Amino acid sequence: MAGLMTAAIRGDEAAYAEFLRLAAALVRGLARRKLANDRVVGPEDIVQEVLLAIHTKRHTWRSHEPILPWVFTITRYKIVDVYRRNGKRVFLDVDDFEAQLAAPETVEPALPERQVEAALTILSDGQRRVVKSIAIDGRSISETATALDMKETAVRVAFHRGLAAIAARFGRTT
Amino acid sequence: MKTEDLIDALKADNQRHRQPPGRVFAMALLASVLVAGAMLVFTMGLRPDFVAALGTVRFPFKFVVTIALAASAALVFSRALFPVASRRPHPALLLVAPVILLLGVVAELVALPPDAWAMSAQGKNAFHCLTVVPALGVVPLGLMLWSLRQGATTRPVLGGLCAGILAGGIAATFYAANCTDDSPLFVATWYPLAIGMLGLAGAALAPRIARW
């Protein structure tokens, strides 16, 4: 393997790929044994992390030193690193979960009736009827068209413009 | 992503090669000495009696201590750059300079009458020492942490500590050329505090900076 790496450093890409494949096999074996019961981190995650680390840090191997201890030291460091990061990620997940639990009460309260009425008053009569029919009464576009005796395209346009007007008036630009 | 695809991608990226960490470290060391030296010479300057003081015992002894400290830290640091290094020196090597200093302290205690001890230890430049040494050492510390990042350390706390002590050793060497307090009692009281600040800063920062 040291020979392959030496050739790789001289620019031999085939030797480099061969070296990486051998390293991957070694790390895979090691990772399977060490992480036998782990469901979050798969051995292949470790393999790829280690290959990346070998790649970015290949200038820290010196040709007079044995290469296997170098590969294994990087592997051990990366296993610890992956676990630490996963630990962090799980911890962050808990935070996200808490934010979602709190959300229905605080982040998106249902619009109070009066606020909706206020939003609708800025619209023209035609737009207001369409928006009210779709957004508040819950009718579909075609039902609204029938109820208001309009063409469906006209309903779509009025609905779209009405929402745009409300968004422009009440601050959201989408 | 499949591992085989990753290998193909890495293979294609094989042409870019980074500088060996040893060379990066050597450049950082050279730059540190130049920067710290320039900062001292162009601001405070050497002490006026620099040449005459070289003929004394106490003044050159300061350099023995600071240079020994910098050299031992450099040696430990240069091995901490690599994940694997044959002949890794024991970190206890860092104690060489403190032991030399301790011997100097004992000699000074014998040479001076007891009622002169406190004054020698306190000196006139304690505040100076505690501010100038860290100030001179900031750039070297940054350069050392940067070179630690270029390597692949598996012992970032030790590496960072050595980076700080090395930066402190360089800074203290130049500061000693300005300071007129030459007693080992002064050196043993204030230099470790000043250098220790840099060492602690290095040990605290390195695990973040030198992650890979």
Let me know if the fold of A2-105 is the same as that of A113-169.
no
Preferred mutation among A45, A51, A59 to probe B, highest tally of B CBs within 10 A? A59
Give the count of alpha carbons within 13 A of B194, CB side only: 30
Burial B7-38 (b: 16+ CB within 10 A, else e): beebbeebeeeeebbbebbeebbeebeebbee
Every domain of chain A and the residues it spans: 2-105, 113-169
Among the partner-chain residues A9, A44, A51, the one whose CB lies closest to the CB of B7 is: A51
Interface test with B, best of A22, A60, A72, A80 (most B CBs within 10 A): A60
**CA neighbor of B211 nearest in space, from A65, A85, A44, A87:** A85
Q: In CATH terms, is domain A113-169 a member of 1.10.10.10?
A: yes
The minimum CA-CA distance between A19 and chain B, rounded to whole Å, is 10
Classify each residue of B57-88 as buried b or exposed e, where b means 16 or more C-beta atoms within 10 Å of its C-beta: ebbebbeebbbbbbebbbbbbbbbbbbbbeee
Contact across the interface for B212 and A57, Cβ inside 8 Å: yes
Task: Please report the pLDDT score of residue A36 as a whole number.
Answer: 64
Per-residue model confidence as pLDDT tens digits over A108-157: 445 556 666 777 888 888 888 888 888 777 788 888 888 888 888 888 88
Query: Across all residues in chain B, what is the average pLDDT?
Result: 93
Which CATH architecture describes the domain A2-105? Orthogonal Bundle (1.10)
Tell me the per-residue pLDDT of A13-33, one tens digit each, with 9 for 90 and over: 889 999 999 999 988 888 887
Specify the residue for token string 């990042």.
Answer: B149
Give me the interface pTM, i.e. the ipTM. Answer: 0.81
Minimal CA separation from B26 to chain A, in Å: 15
Q: Which residue has 């790390």 as its token pair? A: A27
So where are chain B's domains? 20-111+121-209
B20-78 pLDDT, tens per residue? 899 999 999 999 999 999 999 999 999 999 999 999 999 999 999 999 999 999 999 99
